Structure 1
Amino acid sequence: MSEKQAGTVKWFDSRKGYGFITLEDGSKDIFVHYSAIEGDDDDFKTLYDGEKVEFEVVEGDKGLQADHVTVTEKNLQRRRGYRDRGGYF
């Protein structure tokens, strides 16, 4: 088991179930699949751009990927339905 890393969600497509996390030091972007997000198996698992997360980095089939991802700081603006172009939906 690798040690926990900190990072920020760069982007996550909840329809496709994957995205990327930027390491805290900005050195790399790490692939993340929805199945790596910690939580109740019955809950819809997603991440929001800009959320702070902790995770382990593991070697996947196509390179480095995040595992055991937990959100440490939520992006409340995105969770409320704020649009990048302004306004709420």
Structure 2
Amino acid sequence: MQGYVKFYNLEKGFGFITPDDGGPNVFAHYSAIVGAFKELSEGQRVEFDLVGGSDKPRASNINPI
């Protein structure tokens, strides 16, 4: 999936991604970011896998694009 970072708290290491398909915002934890730099910026475009149930979706394998 693709989307953009709606919010990311660098100090706490988490935020939310808004998917392009218009679904609910997806939780994003720093441990799910691929690569050496474990941070995201608001508005940044990302590609990710969706995991978890529909009540608590979360992102996995987050790649900035």
Provide TM-score, normalisation by structure 1: 0.67
**2:27 aligned partner:** 31
Extract structure 1 runs of 4+ deviating beyond 3 A. Answer: none
Structure in which a larger fraction of residues adopt strand: 2
**1:52 aligned partner:** 45
**2:6 aligned partner:** 10
The one of the two structures with greater contact order (alpha-carbon pairs below 8 A, sep at least 6) is 2
In structure 1, the gaps of 5 or more residues are 73-89
Question: If you compute each CA radius of gyration, which structure gives the higher value, 1 or 2?
Answer: 1
In structure 2, the gaps of 5 or more residues are none
**2:59 aligned partner:** 66
Instruction: Give the superposed CA RMSD.
Output: 1.5
Q: CA deviation at 1:63?
A: 1.8
